[in-house]
Amino acid sequence: MAGVFTPMLQAIGRHRGVTAALVVDERDGIVVESHLHVGVEEDRVAALAASLYRKARLSSRAAGMGAVSFMQLEAPGGRLCAIGAAELVLIVVAQPSVNVGLVRVEMLRSIARLVEAGGGA
């Protein structure tokens, strides 16, 4: 059954190298909706990535740098990208070869949908 984020997640998931795209509640790391390749552990990705994004957001604010928009973690085995609004976080897991510029643009476009669904900025 298609959810409110299905078209957005499918659009991101179509990018070469993307293995998972999820919308997660930032407070508890619970998955709201996801688009995953086989073998990706949805709950684990959601909890860890949401926790990382939350930590980055809080640290940034405490350091006087304001709210975090886009975040990207790079490791030899892949990339983790996140963008948040209205207590929802859009998380993308991708292979190292992914065109992160394209994925970032797609994720930035999705901000409005997150705000709308989350009920405010």
Partner 1 sequence: MATSDDIRRMSDELARDPGSRVFVPLGDVLRRQGQYDIALKMALKGLERHPHLVEGHDLLARLYVDRGEFEKGFDEWDMVLRLSPGHLGALKGLGFICYQHERFADAERYLSAAARIDPADAEVASALEHVQAGHLQAARAGETPLPASIAADSRFLFVDVLREDGQTALLLDQQGLVLAGAYFNADGVDVAQNVGAELSGVTDAARRATRHLALGDWSSIVFETEVAVVAMAPAPSDGLLVLATTRETPLGLVRRLLDRCSEHAARWLRGLI
- DSSP-assigned letter for residue 61: H
* Smallest separation, CB 94 to partner 1 (Å): 10
* Site for partner 1, residues 39 to 58, rule: CB under 8 A: 44-45, 48-49, 51-52, 55-56
Alpha-carbon gap, residue 41 to 81, rounded angstroms: 16
Binding residues with partner 1: total (CB under 8 A): 31
Structure tokens at 4: 């409110």
State yes or no: residue 62 binds partner 1 (CB under 8 A): yes
Contact by Cβ (8 Å): 32, 25? yes
Ranges within 67-106 binding partner 1 (CB under 8 A): 67-78, 80, 93, 101, 104
